Amino acid sequence: MTVRVQTADFDVAREIAALRAGDARVGAVASFIGTVRDVNDAVAVSTMTLEHYPGMTEKSLEAIVAEARARFDILDALVIHRVGALQPTDQIVLVAVTSAHRGDAFDACRFVMDYLKTRAPFWKKEATADGARWVDARVSDDAAAARWERDAQGPESGQAT
């Protein structure tokens, strides 16, 4: 189980090869790669800057991967998330999961991404022709993470209400 936060790009083929190297139990590898789009909410984006909360970020990603391991029958998992200034088409995030069979690999990969989107402390700031703006969280992301909830205990605690 590996979690990395880095400014450098990553080589998907190399990362996946390393993840499953020498493990003959692996029969399935599922991966997700998030990339920078040039348009968000109908506005052209020239640069996207990703900021995070060092210390908490790694901890929260590790907790998400541990949760995936508890829920699904997986052999290994890798999360790489980039920070800093990125351009359209750049890779942002890689989640890769190995398992004996495809079902757990697919499910665990999607689970990690859905939780990462709503729980890991990353924030995107977009540079547009009208200036820089912080990207708003999407309700659809909360709904995607909520699908995995087994109980009422969620990330809603600590609201400023």
Q: How far apart are CA 62 and CA 132, in angstroms?
A: 31
Task: Say whether residue 120 binds other proteins (CB under 8 A).
Answer: yes
Segment (H or E) for 17: helix 12-20
Greatest Cα pair distance, the chain, in angstroms, is: 53
Is residue 67 involved in binding other proteins (CB under 8 A)? no
Using the 8-state DSSP alphabet, how is residue 130 labeled? T
Question: Would you say 15 or 100 has its CB closer to other proteins?
Answer: 15
Beta bridge partners of 77: 97
Query: Which residue among 17, 44, 56, 143 contacts other proteins (CB under 8 A)?
Result: 56
Q: Which of 92, 91, 64 is nearest to 1 (CA)?
A: 64
Q: Which two tokens stand for residue 55?
A: 């210390």
Least distance CB 71 / other proteins (angstroms): 19
Ranges within 36-55 binding other proteins (CB under 8 A)? 50-53, 55
Q: Is 93 in the site for other proteins (CB under 8 A)?
A: yes
**Residue numbers at the binding site for other proteins (CB under 8 A):** 34, 50-53, 55-56, 59, 81, 92-93, 113, 116-125, 134-137, 155, 157-161
